[in-house]
Amino acid sequence: MSISWISYTINWNSLMKNLSFDVCENNIVSIIWYNGSWKSTLLQLLLGTISPSSWSITRKTSLRIWYVPQKLSFVKDLPLTVRDFLSLYNRSIIAPWVSTCSLLDVTPLLDTPLSWLSWGQVQKVLIYNALLGNPEVLLLDEPTAWLDIWAQKEFYSLLEHIFDEHTVSIVLVSHDIHTVYSRSDVVVCLHNWLCCSWSPNDAWFSNDIKDVFGGYVVPYLHTEHTHVR
């Protein structure tokens, strides 16, 4: 999928100007920058739920794109179970996705109302729902924003499994610079226009990250007695 010259304007206020980048098959594309830089809006433009002011996008016919939002909003008193939610599209797991979907382990949650679930459980259900659609492109909007460190680790293990076992492109909005550095094929740095687009394998990647975020911080592993850098 090739995105060329996307622009988006609201009330004569230009939020995006002439963005261009490619989402190649079986690549992970990460979109980064500070809050308020319209990253989630870009995903909505790719999904087609809002219309750009101008753009050109080239993709194959009937490309299967599924979107996992950062957070699911619903009425707390709505008597909608996980089973009801997953059955809205009347789909079943196709063979290639059986083992991947089993890793999410949503079966014990099927008869639980959505409003009873933790944010981590809701995220599992949303990802499971997307995988039922046999996606070719998976759009993930800050998928770890509401997860604790262990749930984040579990999520990224799942993401690696999806990427290793299936032919799927992933577009990921993230603030996790370490994850972006270690797992992305392409990084898009977005703030009103395309500031830069590069591969983490480029020798100057870390220096560019420092210029953007004022320093590159490597996460540490916590052990019983010490913190290991």
Q: Output the pLDDT for position 108.
A: 93
Q: Which fold has domain 2-228?
A: Rossmann fold (3.40.50)
Could you give the C-alpha distances from 86 to 30, 91, 167, in angstroms and in order?
Answer: 27, 8, 23
Q: Tell me: pLDDT of 112 over 90.
A: yes
Domain boundaries, the chain: 2-228
pLDDT, residue 226, reads 41
Query: What whole-number distance in Å separates Cα of residue 47 and Cα of residue 49?
Result: 6
Tokens of 65: 């794109």
Higher-confidence residue of 27 and 110: namely: 110
Q: What is the pLDDT of residue 216?
A: 46
CA distance 153 to 147: 9
Q: What is the pTM of this model?
A: 0.78
pLDDT of residue 76: 73
* End-to-end Cα distance, the chain: 38
Distance (Å, whole) CA 108 – CA 93? 17
At 59, the pLDDT band (50, 70, 90 cuts) reads: low
